[in-house]
Amino acid sequence: MESENRKLIKFSNYSLCVTLPKSVTRELKWNKGDVVQMVVDEKKGEILIKKAHAAKIEKKLAKKPLKTVTMKKSRW
């Protein structure tokens, strides 16, 4: 396992981000738009980021309640 220091970057007023080297994403076969899972171990002060499995993603999406939108009829 390799180690590399990376800086935290301010992404917005509410979050920070860290970039992943292109060589690492290529090696892991991660692409733009892929869903990753973040596991936080507060006792060890570690974050594990791994690619989410498609089955888990579908389950989570299925559990989310659908937002109902009520629209008024337009005169047009």
AA letter at 61: L
For residue 27, being part of any structural domain is answered with: yes
Q: What is the pLDDT of residue 2?
A: 75
For residue 72, being part of any structural domain is answered with: no
Q: What is the pLDDT of residue 42?
A: 94
For residue 57, being part of any structural domain is answered with: yes
Please tell me the total count of domains within the chain. 1
pLDDT tens string, the chain, 76 residues long: the values are 778 899 999 999 999 999 999 999 999 999 999 999 999 999 999 999 999 986 555 555 556 665 555 555 555 4
β-pairing verdict for 36-41 and 16-17: unpaired
For residue 33, being part of any structural domain is answered with: yes
Distance of alpha carbon 50 from alpha carbon 74, whole angstroms: 47
For residue 70, being part of any structural domain is answered with: no
Q: What is the pLDDT of residue 76?
A: 45
**Dihedral Cα 29, 31, 37, 42, nearest 10 deg:** 80
For residue 54, being part of any structural domain is answered with: yes
Cα of first residue to Cα of last residue in the chain, in angstroms, is: 63
Which CATH number goes with the domain that contains 18? 2.10.260
Structural domain containing residue 51? 9-62
